[in-house]
Amino acid sequence: MPFYTTSRCVGELNRMCVDVCPVQCIHAEEGVDRMAFIDPGACIDCAACVPACPVSAIFAEADLPPAERSFIQVTALYFTDRAAARARVPATA
């Protein structure tokens, strides 16, 4: 069961999680993406990224708050159609 980035990452995008992921499965294109995305097919569920995130934006799928569950679909879309996924990332609060 993979981990997901959520709304607190939008606009924050400091990449602390990217640096600790042992399988480099957290992606964010410099200057284009407004949030990072975890590749659910590559994540090995190690949880190393969770404490690394300064805004607590990363959750295991089972622990996703109801309001954040839409990021499951947005994440899946990111790894098939990045432009479509970017269009679905909400505005920064």
Asked if 85 interacts with ligand SF4 (CB under 6 A), we say no
Phi, psi at 47, each rounded to 5°: 75, 10
Using an 8 Å Cβ cutoff, are 21 and 49 in contact? yes
| Candidate segments 10-18, 66-74, 81-89, binder of ligand SF4 by CB under 6 A | 10-18
Q: Binding string to ligand SF4 for residues 34 to 73, with x set by CB under 6 A, is what?
A: --x-x----xxxxxxx--xx-x-xx---------------
Q: How far is the CB of 14 from ligand SF4 (least distance, A)?
A: 4
- Count of residues that bind ligand SF4 according to CB under 6 A: 28
- The residue ranges that bind ligand SF4 (CB under 6 A) are 3, 5, 9, 12-17, 20-21, 23, 25-26, 36, 38, 43-49, 52-53, 55, 57-58
